[in-house]
Structures are given as structure tokens and as C-alpha cells.
Amino acid sequence: MTYRDAMREALRDALRRDERVFLMGEDVGRYGGCFGVSKGLLDEFGPERVRDTPLSESAFVGAGIGAAMGGMRPVVEIMTVNFSLLALDQIVNNAATLTHMSGGQLAIPLVIRMTTGAGRQLAAQHSHSLEGWYAHIPGLRILTPATLEDARGMLWPALCDPNPVLIFEHGALYNMEGELPEEPPEVDIESAMVRRPGDDVSLITYGGTLWKALAAADELAGEGISAEVLDLRVLRPLDDAALEASVTKTHRAVIVDEGWRSGSLSAEVAARLTERCFYDLDAPVERVCSEEVPVPYAKHLEEEALPQVDDIVTAAMRTVRGQVPQAAEAGRV
């Protein structure tokens, strides 16, 4: 099973469980979704529950908000995160605020799915990682499934949430393969998860960079460094307890974030670690982020602009031993 298959199974399960659930978005029906996630669902559930929409993000996200207010459980698909900018007013000014502005009289059980991230040569306009922007907004829950288990298991609890939930699916993960049990995994949408325990440094990440952090942990093990990999999974609300537990154990932290460094989610995590764990830290918090440029189209330039395994290893070596591996001294540091 691929990550794409796991997302499709999550949608199929939700549509079967609750007749109020429906999927809407551009090309989700006859075409099967821009990334093939909803392929076959139109034939199975019909056009009332798998709805192709006009090319207007503001319109169909607004329709999803209205449907949620009316008691339905809509799943709105936005092709890529950059297109969500066309629906910012609906997401930020309506979905996130209506429960508050109605004094709790209105619930907005809306799920919005979108693809995020770079690494696929889609150039500057289709390679954004803006989930950190949305994590800034009270009233939203932000999920970043990075494993097949989370891709399969996060949608149903998201639909059960009375508040709007945004799910960011990293485009580079859709073809990732693995195995899942026949019974859907039980996944919470509250907590971070330790993907690899360690004692010397915490590698804190989420989404598409989780697998780079795990690969870096393998390399660090060869250097005699035990790296713990913490998958945030939920960017709002952040799991402060998990962050504190990991860093008070390892006493060092490297935050890996595909977003740009300035004003990023990594900055927020670093600030919280400073507030909560300052006296437990044995070295400054390190951050590995994308270069502050529009993401290039050319493959070699795109790779240079994005966080890579070597960058994570270098940052971890620096925070643990105050040095960088010899291979890094001749290249990027």
C-alpha cells in the first residue's frame, strides 16, 4: 500500500461510516484527484458525495463551511497549499472564527486536505510549505501525517472534531510504500510521537522531513550519537509535553522544518524550548530550514534549497560535539 492508497482508504471508510460525509474539490470525481487520492470513489459513492467543483477555491471552501454549519461533514480538497491562498478569507476569517463569534452556537466540523512541500521540481509557485502559517491561527487544528498509519488513521478523528481541521499531505510521500493492518489503526490527533528513541540529541520534525530526520539518525548512530526523532504530527496545538520530555532527556535539539527560517514553525518550537527547557539545554537549539529563496525548478538547485540529510547530521554533530563531520567541512554547512 502507498501513502496515496492509505489516504484513499481513509476517505472510503469515512464515506461508508457516515452519510453526512462528502468530498468536494477540483477534479476529485471523474479525474480521481490531482494526485490520484480519490480515484474510483465517484463510481463507488456517486456525484452527490464526490463532487467536482468549479475552479474557485474561495467558493468551494465557503460552500464547505456552509455545509458544515448545516450539519454535514464535508472534506474539502485543495490541490496544493499555494491555491489555499485564494481561500484565506474563508479559512481564517470564517471557518476559524465562527464558533467564537457565535458564542459557541455554531460548530464547523470541516476538514480541508491539501498537498504541501517541495522536492518534486514543481517550481516556486507549487512548492510552498505554508502549514506553519496556518498553525498561527486560533480555531484551527493542523495535522501533518507523515506515515501510512497517520495517513490512514487521522481523517476520521478529524471529522469527529467540531472545529475545522486542516490536513497537510506532503507531495513527496504519495508514492511511499508500506504495510497496514486490515483494521484501521487508531490514531489520535492530539499528540506528537517519538519515531526513534535516543539519548544524545532530539531531532524534531514533521511531514516530509521526518524521513530525512530518520535517515540522519541512522548516520549519527554510525558516529556514536544516539538521536531521538520526534514527529510533531500536530502543529496546532503543539504537544508541549512531548517536546519538553524529549529535550529534558537528550539536553540538545535540532529542529528540521521545510518552511523558510524567518517566522517559521521552527522558530516557534525553538522559542517554546527556550521558555520551558532553558536550564536543561546543554547547547543552543539548532534549526535546519529551507533557504530563504523561492524554491528553484532545476533539480540540483532545488536540492540545495531544501533541508537534506547531511544538513541535519551537520547540525546534530555541531550541537553534540561542537564540530561538524569532515565531509561537511568541504561542502555546505
Output the DSSP codes for 25-81: ETTSSTT--TTSTTTTHHHHH-TTTEEE--S-HHHHHHHHHHHHHTT-EEEEEEEEG
- When pLDDT is averaged across residues 286-309 and rounded to a whole number, the result is 97
CA dihedral 124→129→131→132, nearest 10 degrees, is -110
Q: What is the CATH number of the domain that holds 209?
A: 3.40.50.920
- Terminal CA-CA length for the chain: 37
From residue 258, alpha-carbon distances to 117, 131, 170 in Å are 7, 10, 10
Three cell numbers at 71? 450539519
Task: Quote the pTM value.
Answer: 0.95
126 vs 120: CA distance, rounded Å: 9
63/144 same-domain check: yes
pLDDT at 182: 83
Q: Are 229 and 268 in contact (CB under 8 A)?
A: no
CB 287 within 8 A of CB 266: yes
For 233-253, what is the mean pLDDT?
A: 98
Q: What is the pLDDT of residue 333?
A: 40
Domain boundary among 142, 173, 204: 173
Distances from the Cα of 220 to the Cαs of 102, 152, 225, 319, in angstroms? 52, 30, 5, 12
**Contact at 8 Å (CB) between 27 and 60?**
no
Residues 169 and 207 in one domain: no
Mean pLDDT throughout 187-210? 97
| Residue in this structure with the C-alpha cell 448545516, named with its chain if needed | 70
Domain holding 253, by residue range, is: 193-326
Q: Are residues 169 and 197 in the same domain?
A: no
pLDDT greater than 70 at residue 328: no
- Domain match, 160 and 201 both: no
Give yes or no: 303 in active site: no
Q: Is 184 exposed, middle or buried (0-12, 13-18, 19+ CB in 10 A)?
A: middle
Cα 206 from Cα 108, distance rounded (Å): 26
- Residues 146, 209, single domain; the answer is no
State the catalytic residue, choosing from 26, 77, 126, 268.
126
> What is the tens place of the pLDDT at every residue in 251-265?
999 999 999 999 999
23 lies in the same domain as 123? yes
170 has pLDDT over 80 = yes
Catalytic residue among 9, 26, 57, 228: 57
Residues 134 and 275 grouped into a single domain: no
Are residues 307 and 288 in contact, defined by beta-carbon separation less than 8 angstroms?
Answer: yes
Instruction: Inform me whether the pLDDT recorded for 137 exceeds 90.
Output: yes
Tell me the average pLDDT of the chain. Answer: 95
Q: Known catalytic residue: 275? A: no
Q: What is the number of other CB atoms lying within 10 angstroms of the CB of residue 231?
A: 25
What CA dihedral angle connects 155, 160, 166 and 171, to 10 degrees? 0
Angle, CA of 102, 105 and 107, to the nearest 5°? 95
What is the domain count for the chain?
Answer: 2
Domain end residue (candidates: 173, 207, 238): 173
